[in-house]
Amino acid sequence: MIALSAIEKSFGGNAVLRGIDLAVPEGRVTALIGPSGSGKSTLLRCVNLLEMPRSGTLDLGDIRLTFRPDRPPTRREMLAVRRQTGMVFQNFQLFPHRTVLENVTEGLVTVAKWPQARARARALELLERVGLAHKAGDWPANLSGGQQQRVAIARALAPSPRLLLCDEPTSALDPELAAEVVDVLASLAGEGMTMLMATHDLRLARRVADTVVFLEGGTIVERGPAPDLFAHPKDPRTRRFIRTLLGEAAEEA
């Protein structure tokens, strides 16, 4: 179980997260939805400490971190958390001067200190898993956006993280390329990968998520099983937002 309790985060005087309590069960997928500025991406970044909560508690496996303004986590604590999380960013963030294979092996070799041969074998296994083993020697610039994001997913999976964090993984892609990424994430979900994702993509959330959490103004407004929340949202704010997503999906179709 991955759990966040009473998480608070501010930028200057602007409170972005307000008392967030969230549990992500092992082997399940939780999707965060909500309007821009609701705190979805900030919440993801707080899990792997790219952003530091002002207060609250994070439980990740056997790690527990309690955040206080006067005591930030130590470097050792931060590395322990990041070893258990993989991050997929909205804009891929591949190294342009590295081949596809080198992008996936880079962290294994430089951070985890794996031998080159072992890292290469792991990378090729993951590229096969995302359908891109035949692109191992290509440069990122020669790939489509969907292919680049699939490489980014392989890179995030390389160290076998406990939790995969996905920040709007399809929002930079047109619908056809986004479908490639949805297929890969759905496959991972079917294999029991624990995931926490922020998304506006109704197709992704409906197909992949077990639980959907609606945020607005830095607070959790509503949560529930994905089919129930999309079909019968209880809070009027959730209903309005889902109508917006349905309208966008109809336009794309």
Domain boundaries, the chain: 2-84+163-252, 93-160
Report the largest interatomic distance among the alpha carbons of the chain, rounded to a whole angstrom. Answer: 55
Q: What does each of the 253 residues of the chain score in pLDDT, given as a tens digit?
A: 799 999 999 998 899 999 999 999 999 999 999 999 999 999 999 999 999 999 999 999 899 999 998 888 999 999 999 999 999 999 899 999 999 999 999 999 998 999 999 999 999 999 999 999 999 999 999 999 999 999 999 999 999 999 999 999 998 899 889 999 999 999 999 999 999 999 988 889 999 999 999 999 999 999 999 999 999 999 999 999 998 877 765 455 5
Q: With H, G, I as helix, E, B as strand and everything else as coil, classify residue 64.
A: strand
- 200 sits in which H/E element: none
What confidence score (pLDDT) does residue 69 get? 87
CA–CA distance from 219 to each of 16, 53, 64, 153, 215 (Å)? 9, 14, 22, 28, 6
- From residue 117, alpha-carbon distances to 8, 97, 98, 139, 190 in Å are 43, 21, 17, 20, 29
How far from each other are the two terminal CA atoms of the chain, in whole angstroms? 37
Query: In whole angstroms, how far apart are CA 218 and each of 7, 12, 38, 96, 221?
Result: 10, 15, 5, 35, 9
Tell me whether strands 195-198 and 29-33 are parallel, antiparallel or unpaired: parallel
Quick one: pLDDT at residue 175? 87
Nearest to 146 by CA among 113, 170, 116, 117: 170
The CA-atom distances, in angstroms, between 87 and each of 12, 90, 140, 219 are: 25, 10, 18, 23
Strand 211-216 versus strand 195-198 pairing type: unpaired
pLDDT of residue 249: 57
Architecture (CATH level 2) of domain 2-84+163-252: 3-Layer(aba) Sandwich (3.40)
**What pLDDT sits at residue 252?**
58
- 16 close to 218: Cβ distance less than 8 angstroms: yes
d(CA 150, CA 141): 14
Residue 35, number of CB atoms within 10 A of its CB: 15
**Pairing mode, if any, of strands 29-33 and 211-216?**
parallel
Confidence at residue 245, expressed as pLDDT on a 0 to 100 scale? 79
